Amino acid sequence: MSDENKVDLELDLKGLLCPLPMVKVSQNIGNVPVGGVIRAVATDPGAMADIPAWAKSTGNEVISAEKEGSEFVFLVKRVK
Amino acid sequence: MPDEVNEQKKLAMVVMSGDMDRLFGAFIIATGAAAMGMEVTMFFTFWGLRALKKNVRTGTSFFGKMLGLFYGGDISKSNPSKFSFGGMGRWMFRKMMGAHNVASLPELRDLAIQLGVNMYGCQMSMDVMEIPRESFVEGVKEPVGVGFFLMKAQEAEVQLFI
Protein backbone atom coordinates (compact mmCIF):
# COMPACT_ATOMS: atom_id res chain seq x y z
CA MET A 1 0.00 0.00 0.00
CA SER A 2 1.35 3.41 -0.96
CA ASP A 3 2.06 6.00 1.69
CA GLU A 4 -0.80 8.07 0.30
CA ASN A 5 -3.26 5.46 1.54
CA LYS A 6 -2.05 5.40 5.11
CA VAL A 7 -4.97 4.33 7.28
CA ASP A 8 -5.97 6.77 10.01
CA LEU A 9 -8.84 4.76 11.47
CA GLU A 10 -9.85 1.09 11.39
CA LEU A 11 -13.57 0.35 11.54
CA ASP A 12 -14.92 -3.09 12.29
CA LEU A 13 -18.36 -3.34 10.67
CA LYS A 14 -18.51 -7.13 10.68
CA GLY A 15 -21.93 -8.56 11.46
CA LEU A 16 -23.72 -5.23 10.95
CA LEU A 17 -26.57 -5.03 8.47
CA CYS A 18 -28.18 -2.21 6.53
CA PRO A 19 -28.16 0.70 7.28
CA LEU A 20 -25.52 0.40 10.00
CA PRO A 21 -22.31 -0.06 7.94
CA MET A 22 -23.01 3.20 6.10
CA VAL A 23 -24.16 4.95 9.28
CA LYS A 24 -20.97 3.96 11.14
CA VAL A 25 -18.76 5.22 8.31
CA SER A 26 -20.71 8.46 8.33
CA GLN A 27 -20.43 8.81 12.11
CA ASN A 28 -16.68 8.20 12.01
CA ILE A 29 -15.60 10.23 8.98
CA GLY A 30 -15.33 13.30 11.21
CA ASN A 31 -12.80 11.46 13.36
CA VAL A 32 -10.13 11.51 10.65
CA PRO A 33 -8.62 14.70 9.25
CA VAL A 34 -9.47 15.94 5.74
CA GLY A 35 -7.42 13.74 3.44
CA GLY A 36 -7.44 10.99 6.08
CA VAL A 37 -8.43 7.41 5.32
CA ILE A 38 -10.77 4.98 7.07
CA ARG A 39 -10.30 1.27 6.51
CA ALA A 40 -13.65 -0.41 7.10
CA VAL A 41 -14.31 -4.15 7.06
CA ALA A 42 -17.92 -5.28 6.59
CA THR A 43 -19.65 -8.60 6.02
CA ASP A 44 -22.91 -7.22 4.59
CA PRO A 45 -22.75 -7.51 0.77
CA GLY A 46 -25.16 -4.56 0.54
CA ALA A 47 -22.37 -2.31 1.81
CA MET A 48 -20.65 -2.73 -1.57
CA ALA A 49 -23.41 -0.60 -3.08
CA ASP A 50 -24.21 1.59 -0.08
CA ILE A 51 -20.81 2.89 0.97
CA PRO A 52 -19.86 4.13 -2.55
CA ALA A 53 -23.35 5.72 -2.80
CA TRP A 54 -22.81 7.38 0.57
CA ALA A 55 -19.43 8.70 -0.60
CA LYS A 56 -20.93 10.05 -3.82
CA SER A 57 -23.70 11.85 -1.93
CA THR A 58 -21.48 13.31 0.76
CA GLY A 59 -18.59 14.26 -1.50
CA ASN A 60 -16.11 11.79 -0.06
CA GLU A 61 -14.06 9.19 -1.91
CA VAL A 62 -13.97 5.41 -1.89
CA ILE A 63 -10.37 4.62 -2.83
CA SER A 64 -11.10 0.91 -3.02
CA ALA A 65 -13.89 -1.55 -2.27
CA GLU A 66 -12.81 -5.16 -2.42
CA LYS A 67 -14.21 -8.54 -1.55
CA GLU A 68 -11.73 -10.56 0.49
CA GLY A 69 -13.22 -13.98 1.18
CA SER A 70 -16.44 -13.36 3.06
CA GLU A 71 -15.47 -9.80 3.95
CA PHE A 72 -15.74 -6.50 2.15
CA VAL A 73 -12.87 -4.10 2.69
CA PHE A 74 -13.24 -0.39 2.01
CA LEU A 75 -10.72 2.40 1.97
CA VAL A 76 -12.64 5.63 2.39
CA LYS A 77 -10.95 9.02 2.12
CA ARG A 78 -12.36 12.10 3.79
CA VAL A 79 -12.38 14.75 1.08
CA LYS A 80 -14.03 17.63 2.93
CA MET B 1 -16.19 18.40 -6.00
CA PRO B 2 -19.63 18.08 -7.58
CA ASP B 3 -21.77 21.10 -6.81
CA GLU B 4 -24.73 19.03 -5.66
CA VAL B 5 -23.10 18.25 -2.32
CA ASN B 6 -22.93 21.94 -1.42
CA GLU B 7 -26.66 22.17 -0.91
CA GLN B 8 -28.14 19.83 1.67
CA LYS B 9 -30.66 17.43 0.15
CA LYS B 10 -33.89 16.89 2.04
CA LEU B 11 -36.24 14.00 2.71
CA ALA B 12 -39.81 14.41 3.97
CA MET B 13 -41.73 11.36 5.11
CA VAL B 14 -45.23 10.69 6.42
CA VAL B 15 -45.39 7.70 8.75
CA MET B 16 -49.05 6.67 8.90
CA SER B 17 -48.48 3.00 9.67
CA GLY B 18 -47.68 1.44 13.03
CA ASP B 19 -46.79 -1.92 11.47
CA MET B 20 -43.42 -3.35 12.41
CA ASP B 21 -42.34 -3.97 8.83
CA ARG B 22 -43.30 -0.51 7.62
CA LEU B 23 -41.65 1.14 10.61
CA PHE B 24 -38.45 -0.78 9.83
CA GLY B 25 -38.60 0.64 6.32
CA ALA B 26 -39.26 4.15 7.57
CA PHE B 27 -36.42 4.18 10.11
CA ILE B 28 -33.87 2.44 7.89
CA ILE B 29 -34.50 5.01 5.16
CA ALA B 30 -34.44 7.88 7.68
CA THR B 31 -31.17 6.82 9.35
CA GLY B 32 -29.61 6.08 5.95
CA ALA B 33 -30.62 9.50 4.66
CA ALA B 34 -29.28 11.23 7.76
CA ALA B 35 -25.99 9.35 7.35
CA MET B 36 -25.83 10.57 3.75
CA GLY B 37 -26.02 14.11 5.01
CA MET B 38 -29.68 14.74 4.22
CA GLU B 39 -32.03 16.80 6.37
CA VAL B 40 -34.81 14.40 7.35
CA THR B 41 -38.36 15.23 8.42
CA MET B 42 -40.62 12.45 9.70
CA PHE B 43 -44.28 13.33 10.26
CA PHE B 44 -46.01 10.69 12.40
CA THR B 45 -49.76 10.43 12.20
CA PHE B 46 -52.48 8.01 13.27
CA TRP B 47 -51.08 4.48 13.83
CA GLY B 48 -47.59 5.85 13.32
CA LEU B 49 -47.78 7.85 16.57
CA ARG B 50 -46.97 4.83 18.69
CA ALA B 51 -43.48 4.80 17.19
CA LEU B 52 -42.79 7.98 19.18
CA LYS B 53 -44.31 6.83 22.46
CA LYS B 54 -42.82 5.79 25.72
CA ASN B 55 -44.39 2.74 27.30
CA VAL B 56 -47.10 4.70 29.12
CA ARG B 57 -50.88 4.38 29.25
CA THR B 58 -52.76 7.13 27.38
CA GLY B 59 -56.37 8.23 26.94
CA THR B 60 -58.76 10.47 28.85
CA SER B 61 -62.19 9.51 27.49
CA PHE B 62 -63.61 5.98 27.56
CA PHE B 63 -62.69 5.35 23.91
CA GLY B 64 -59.31 6.98 24.35
CA LYS B 65 -58.57 4.69 27.28
CA MET B 66 -59.73 1.66 25.26
CA LEU B 67 -57.34 2.66 22.51
CA GLY B 68 -54.56 3.14 25.06
CA LEU B 69 -55.29 -0.32 26.43
CA PHE B 70 -55.53 -2.25 23.16
CA TYR B 71 -53.13 -0.22 21.06
CA GLY B 72 -50.87 0.99 23.85
CA GLY B 73 -47.26 0.46 24.74
CA ASP B 74 -44.33 1.70 22.70
CA ILE B 75 -42.63 0.97 19.38
CA SER B 76 -41.57 -2.50 20.54
CA LYS B 77 -45.25 -3.53 20.60
CA SER B 78 -45.67 -3.12 16.83
CA ASN B 79 -46.80 -6.20 14.94
CA PRO B 80 -45.93 -7.21 11.37
CA SER B 81 -48.61 -6.27 8.81
CA LYS B 82 -48.74 -9.91 7.71
CA PHE B 83 -48.01 -13.08 9.69
CA SER B 84 -49.09 -11.43 12.94
CA PHE B 85 -50.99 -14.30 14.64
CA GLY B 86 -51.78 -12.29 17.75
CA GLY B 87 -48.21 -11.47 18.68
CA MET B 88 -46.56 -14.70 17.48
CA GLY B 89 -45.37 -12.99 14.32
CA ARG B 90 -43.72 -10.21 16.26
CA TRP B 91 -41.92 -12.73 18.43
CA MET B 92 -40.82 -14.78 15.41
CA PHE B 93 -39.56 -11.78 13.44
CA ARG B 94 -37.70 -10.49 16.49
CA LYS B 95 -35.99 -13.88 16.83
CA MET B 96 -35.14 -13.97 13.11
CA MET B 97 -33.87 -10.40 13.05
CA GLY B 98 -31.85 -11.00 16.21
CA ALA B 99 -30.29 -14.06 14.60
CA HIS B 100 -29.27 -11.91 11.61
CA ASN B 101 -28.03 -9.03 13.77
CA VAL B 102 -30.48 -6.46 12.46
CA ALA B 103 -30.89 -3.47 14.77
CA SER B 104 -34.18 -3.52 16.69
CA LEU B 105 -36.90 -0.94 16.08
CA PRO B 106 -36.25 0.96 19.34
CA GLU B 107 -32.53 1.02 18.49
CA LEU B 108 -33.19 2.35 14.99
CA ARG B 109 -35.60 4.98 16.28
CA ASP B 110 -33.09 6.15 18.90
CA LEU B 111 -30.29 6.12 16.31
CA ALA B 112 -32.45 8.33 14.09
CA ILE B 113 -32.87 10.83 16.93
CA GLN B 114 -29.13 10.70 17.61
CA LEU B 115 -28.41 11.39 13.92
CA GLY B 116 -30.56 14.51 14.06
CA VAL B 117 -33.64 13.22 12.24
CA ASN B 118 -36.51 15.66 12.90
CA MET B 119 -39.56 13.79 14.20
CA TYR B 120 -42.94 15.44 14.59
CA GLY B 121 -46.25 14.15 15.87
CA CYS B 122 -49.39 15.21 14.01
CA GLN B 123 -51.29 17.43 16.45
CA MET B 124 -54.71 16.51 15.09
CA SER B 125 -54.27 12.74 15.37
CA MET B 126 -52.66 13.17 18.80
CA ASP B 127 -55.81 15.03 19.91
CA VAL B 128 -58.17 12.48 18.39
CA MET B 129 -56.29 9.48 19.79
CA GLU B 130 -55.64 11.23 23.12
CA ILE B 131 -51.91 10.68 22.93
CA PRO B 132 -50.30 13.70 24.62
CA ARG B 133 -46.94 15.18 23.73
CA GLU B 134 -45.67 14.17 27.20
CA SER B 135 -46.00 10.49 26.25
CA PHE B 136 -43.30 10.85 23.54
CA VAL B 137 -39.64 9.93 23.99
CA GLU B 138 -36.91 12.57 24.36
CA GLY B 139 -35.85 14.22 21.14
CA VAL B 140 -39.25 14.38 19.42
CA LYS B 141 -40.05 17.92 18.27
CA GLU B 142 -43.16 19.90 19.17
CA PRO B 143 -46.31 18.68 17.35
CA VAL B 144 -47.16 20.23 13.99
CA GLY B 145 -49.92 20.12 11.37
CA VAL B 146 -50.23 19.29 7.71
CA GLY B 147 -49.24 22.77 6.61
CA PHE B 148 -45.84 22.38 8.23
CA PHE B 149 -45.37 18.97 6.66
CA LEU B 150 -46.31 20.26 3.20
CA MET B 151 -43.82 23.10 3.53
CA LYS B 152 -41.12 20.55 4.34
CA ALA B 153 -42.31 18.30 1.51
CA GLN B 154 -42.12 21.16 -0.98
CA GLU B 155 -38.54 21.88 0.04
CA ALA B 156 -37.55 18.21 -0.17
CA GLU B 157 -36.20 16.32 -3.17
CA VAL B 158 -37.57 13.06 -1.78
CA GLN B 159 -41.06 12.58 -0.32
CA LEU B 160 -42.33 9.29 1.03
CA PHE B 161 -45.61 8.05 2.48
CA ILE B 162 -45.29 5.00 4.67
Tell me: the pLDDT tens digits for A19-63?
999 999 999 999 999 999 999 999 999 999 999 999 999 999 999
Residue A80 confidence (pLDDT) = 87
Among 1.10.274.50, 3.30.930.10, 3.40.1260.10, 2.120.10.30, what is the CATH number of B3-161?
3.40.1260.10
Share of residues in chain B with pLDDT > 90 (%) = 77
Q: How far is CA B113 from the centre of its chain?
A: 11
CATH 1.10.10.10 fits A3-77, yes or no: no
pLDDT score of B101 more than 90: no
Write down the mean pLDDT value for chain B: 92
SS3 per-residue string spanning chain B = CCHHHCCCCEEEEEECCCCHHHHHHHHHHHHHHHHCCCEEEEEECHHHHHHHECCCCCCCCHHHHHHHHHCCCCHHHCCCCCCCHHHHHHHHHHHHHHHCCCCCHHHHHHHHHHCCCEEEEEHHHHHHHCCCHHHECCCCCCCECHHHHHHHHHHCCEEEEC
Q: % helix / strand / coil in chain A, to the nearest 5?
A: 35, 30, 35
Residue B93 confidence (pLDDT) = 87
Q: Is the ipTM of this complex over 0.90?
A: no
Q: What angle do CA B48, B22, B114 make, to 5 degrees?
A: 70
Map out the domains of chain B as residue ranges. 3-161
Tell me: the pLDDT tens digits for B134-145?
999 999 999 999
Closest residue to A80, CB basis, from B1, B36, B103: B1
Map out the domains of chain A as residue ranges. 3-77
**What distances in angstroms separate CA A15 from CA A21, A29, A47, B17, B112, one per listed residue?**
9, 20, 11, 29, 20
The verdict on a CB contact (< 8 Å) between A16 and B101 is yes
Residue B1 confidence (pLDDT) = 44
- Active site (catalytic) residues of A: 18
Residue B6 has, within 13 A of its CA and on its CB side, a CA count of 3
The verdict on a CB contact (< 8 Å) between B9 and A57 is yes
pLDDT score of B6 more than 60: no
Residue A3 confidence (pLDDT) = 53
Residue B9 confidence (pLDDT) = 95
